[in-house]
Structure 1
Amino acid sequence: MDKKALFAKISQKSSFLCVGLDTDLTKIPEHLLKEKDPIFAFNKQIIDNTIDQAVAYKPNTAFYEALGPKGWESLHKTLEYIPKDVFTIADAKRGDIGNTSGLYAKAFFEMMDFDSVTVAPYMGIDSVKPFLAFEDKWVILLALTSNEGSQDFQMLETKNGKPFFQEVIEKSQKWGTPDNMMYVVGATRGEKIAEVRKLVPDHFFLVPGVGAQGGSLEEVAKFGMNSNCGLLVNSSRGIIYAGKDKDFGKAAKTEAQKLQTEMEILLDKYCK
């Protein structure tokens, strides 16, 4: 999916919601455990109930990899079920030497047909470039995350007097373009979102941290939105685990609708 198609979907649904499919067997409703494929049965209901609000779905591959071959099968079935005009993100955080990255790229883009994959930039251009060789596919580069340990490296001052995350963003712009590279920017740092937006005015951001992690959607839009929206805001636990009984799908829909309603207002306010 290219940038124009993604923005068209955002405009159509008046939403920039990404639903994180971080599906945990220990947290899904107990009645689903009787299903042949409990993970897919859960994901199917989440998708059915949020498809009117979601412009993207983001399975975190760790939740599927941990289950071995059955988990990969559940992930494949989930991907097949998501409508083709909805953006898909493999939250895999890959990043390795060039030939290995090329195989990761082939796995997620050719074999599984994801639209995008999250990539760690720590090993530099040769670990990222293979992902950028695929037409109409996206690298979502880790830039500024909201986890506690992000302070260990991302905020360190470099010899140029800039924080390390800023160096990563500035250098990586030479690798990709606003048409094939996005950045992960955590929602819990409003002023930092503004800093990143100044550095990359035209790129999309994948923004985790809204909902269960306490990030403010209003702040994200105020500091991060551009004329093409430029945002995919992810909510995982706050939506998919909103309900714990047989009506969990309806509970997920209610939470997705709340976010979409706010997003519609924010698009009108800030997407100019």
Structure 2
Amino acid sequence: MNSKELFSQIKSKQSFLCVGLDTDPAKIPQYLQREKDPIFEFNKQIIDHTAEYAVAYKPNIAFYEALGPKGWESLQKTLEYIPKEIFTIADAKRGDIGNTSKLYAKAFFESMDFDSITVAPYMGRDSVLPFLEFKDKWVILLALTSNEGSEDFQIIPSSDGELLFESVLKKSRQWGNPDNLMYVVGATRGENIAKVRALVPDHFFLVPGVGAQGGSLEDVAKYGMSKQCGLLVNSSRGIIYAGKDMDFGKKAGEEAEKLQKEMAILLEKYL
């Protein structure tokens, strides 16, 4: 899937919503525990009720690999169940020396057939380029994250005043292009989203931090939207755990629809 195809889906659904499938066995409804594969059954219902509003799904790989082989099976079944026109993100945050990165890329792009994978950039070019060698696949590079510890390193200034995340953006934009390279940009500070957009005007952003972490959807659109929208705004807990009983799928759909309606207004306002 290229950026034009992704933008076409955004326009069609009037949405730039990514649903995070951070599926925790301890948080899914108790009745599902009787199923042969509770994780997949939970994800299946979430997908059934949110697919009309979402343009992407993002399983966080840690929630699956923590369960061993059964978790990987649940992940594969989930990936195969997601409608083919919807963008898929392996939130794996990989990044290692070149030969290792190439095997990570084969695992997620060939064996599992995800559309994209999140990658940590701090080992440099040779740890990222193997992921960019795969046709019609995407790297989503960590640029400016929304977690509490993000300020420990990402905003350290160099001697000339350039912040570390700005250096990462300037260097990494030489490695890929707007059809194979996205950036993770946290939603918690609108002014920093604007800084990132100025440095990479045509690239898509995967934006966590809206909702549970306090980020503003309005600010994300105001400071981050590009001529092709350029945004995938992720919501995980706020959608998938909106309900706790047998109607959890319906509740998830309602929350996804609320966000989609807000996004439709913002697309009209800023696009």
Task: Tell me the TM-score range normalised by the shorter chain.
Answer: over 0.9
Equivalent in the alignment of 1:27: 27
- Give the CA deviation at 1:148: 1.1
1:194-244 CA distance string (max 9 Å, x none): 010001110000000112112110000000001100000000000000000
Equivalent in the alignment of 1:148: 148
Residues 192-203 of structure 1 correspond to what in structure 2 (within 5 A)? 192-203=192-203
- Mapped to 2, the partners of 1:3 and 1:160 lie a distance apart of 34
- Give the CA deviation at 1:159: 2.8
**Is 2:265 the counterpart of 1:261?**
no
Structure 2 residue identity aligned to 1:70 = K
Residues 167-178 of structure 1 correspond to what in structure 2 (within 5 A)? 167-178=167-178
Per mean C-alpha deviation after superposition, the further-off stretch among 219-228 and 156-165 is: 156-165
Equivalent in the alignment of 2:125: 125
- Mapped to 1, the partners of 2:35 and 2:230 lie a distance apart of 39
* SS across alignment from 2:176: coil
Structure 1 residue identity aligned to 2:193 = I
* SS across alignment from 1:20: strand
- Give the CA deviation at 1:160: 3.0
Equivalent in the alignment of 1:57: 57
- Mapped to 1, the partners of 2:136 and 2:214 lie a distance apart of 33
* SS across alignment from 1:244: coil
Structure 2 residue identity aligned to 1:102 = K
Residues 58-77 of structure 1 correspond to what in structure 2 (within 5 A)? 58-77=58-77
- Mapped to 2, the partners of 1:173 and 1:34 lie a distance apart of 48
- Give the CA deviation at 1:161: 1.7
Equivalent in the alignment of 1:161: 161
- Mapped to 1, the partners of 2:128 and 2:28 lie a distance apart of 35
- Mapped to 2, the partners of 1:98 and 1:156 lie a distance apart of 27
Number of aligned pairs? 271
- Give the CA deviation at 1:158: 1.3
- Mapped to 1, the partners of 2:170 and 2:211 lie a distance apart of 29
Unaligned stretches of 5+ in structure 1? none
Equivalent in the alignment of 2:3: 3
- Mapped to 2, the partners of 1:95 and 1:33 lie a distance apart of 35
Equivalent in the alignment of 2:245: 245
1:124-162 CA distance string (max 9 Å, x none): 000000000001100000000011111111010113320
Identity of aligned residues (%): 76
- Mapped to 2, the partners of 1:146 and 1:6 lie a distance apart of 24
Residues 40-119 of structure 1 correspond to what in structure 2 (within 5 A)? 40-119=40-119
Structure 2 residue identity aligned to 1:11 = K
1:89-108 CA distance string (max 9 Å, x none): 00000000000000000000
**Is 2:215 the counterpart of 1:233?**
no
Q: Please report the TM-score for the alignment, with normalisation by the length of structure 1.
A: 0.99
Structure 1 residue identity aligned to 2:140 = I
Q: Please report the TM-score for the alignment, with normalisation by the length of structure 2.
A: 0.99
